[in-house]
Amino acid sequence: MDLFNSALQALTQGFAAITWQAAVMVGIGCVLLFLAVVKKIEPMLLVPIGFGIILGNLPLAHLAAQDEGGIINLIYNAGILTEIFPCLLFVGLGAMIDFGPLLANPSVLIFGAAGQFGIFLTLFLALALGFSRESAISIAVIGACDGPTAIYVASKYARDLLPAISIAAYSYMSLVPIIQPPIMRALTTKKERATLMAYGEKKVSKTVKILFPVICAVVTILIAPMGAPLMGMLMLGNFLKESGVVGRLVDVSENMLANIVTLFLGLSIGASMLGGNFLRWETILIFILGAVAISLDTVAGVLLGKLMRVITKGKVNPLLGAAGTSAFPMSARVVQREGQKANPRSFLLFHAIGANTGGQIGSVMAAAAMLAIMAALG
């Protein structure tokens, strides 16, 4: 009978050890899987994150990112804590991005700077709410609308907030089509939104396309060396693509490498979201601040767009400013859709893609500048 009891106890110890926080997290993991599988929302990311949450929160499984020696702990230590995953993702991203629209119309690059304004205003808010400088910076970078950059900064300065920050960053990237349109409509008149912009894909020479990633990497890294890993990898990926001589490396970068890293990154981030450290007031604040950051990015971008419209005497559609975030290509699509709603003859996609890729560069520059200043301040 004792033997039976011991066996029964051994087989039920998992159930006995589960806490209410772990149960809630398993529920959250299931919700993410539901959103990914049934609603098709960011499945590439939500499936590994959702499954990672479930695995990480099951008691005695030793699968949390924090469980020393566990398989996910090894992945987490090797890829997240060393900051390798976000950098490798940037190689893939660089190989996917076409800077052609930006090179054809370089003035839209300025929207890529305005699109980062929310980062800095959110920094103030986070500081005012009592977050430490390191945490405030990491939270503010959610406003970059750029998952890998947010993970890179948070893994440097706020590892305890990393799960919440990465989930918020990726969630808001996919929520851009819901967050941006009301702000764009509120800040512009229908006449402004209906502004027609000259359409016609200006061609750029292959030489310019090849030289741009090299020169951009050199200039930006010389200005802000702290952002070198991100910018260097982004431009490496783009150079592979534009050079036209390493098709196999481009294929590997934009497919296999990006997919493998996304899988391991999602899994280890998910498995780091334990009930005890995720279900707290700070997490809710981080999500609120992230939404504020992205909203402020849109506000700053659209306001700059309005200014550009005045300066150019009506040649720039102010909606373009909203594409200055690095939520690529979601922001550009939102701009195109809103522009066409106001004027069916409007075709802003080419310009918006340019501003959107500019936002990609702008977000890395903003993060690099913050890292450099933090390093300087000790």
- Residue by residue, DSSP assigns 235-301 as HHHHHHHHH-S-HHHHHIIIIIIHHHHHHHHHHHHHHT--HHHHSSHHHHHHHHHHHHHHHHHHHHH
Which of 86, 301, 305, 362 touches other proteins (CB under 8 A)?
A: 362
CA distances from 365 to 157, 225, 241, 287, 326 (A): 17, 10, 22, 23, 12
Q: Is 102 in the site for other proteins (CB under 8 A)?
A: yes
Q: Is 219 in the site for other proteins (CB under 8 A)?
A: yes
What would the two tokens of residue 309 be?
């419209």
Count the residues in the chain: 378
Site string for other proteins, 252-281 (x = CB under 8 A): ------------------------------
Question: What SS3 class is residue 375?
Answer: helix
Of the pair 63, 119, the CB lying nearest other proteins is at 119
Which of 41, 120, 288, 343 touches other proteins (CB under 8 A)?
A: 120
Q: Closest approach of Cβ 354 to other proteins, in Å? A: 11
Q: Is 106 in the site for other proteins (CB under 8 A)?
A: yes
Q: In the chain, how long is the greatest CA-to-CA distance?
A: 90
Q: Is 204 in the site for other proteins (CB under 8 A)?
A: yes
Stretch that binds other proteins, among 16-24, 117-125, 246-254, 287-295 (CB under 8 A): 117-125
Q: Is 121 in the site for other proteins (CB under 8 A)?
A: yes
Within 13 Å of residue 15, how many CA atoms lie on the same side as its CB? Answer: 5
User: How many CB atoms within 10 Å of residue 129?
Assistant: 14
Beta strand ranges found along the chain (DSSP E):
none
Interface residue list for other proteins (CB under 8 A): 102-103, 106-107, 109-110, 112-113, 116-117, 119-121, 123-124, 127-128, 133, 136-137, 202-208, 211-212, 215-216, 219-220, 223-224, 358, 361-362, 365-366, 368-370, 372-373, 377
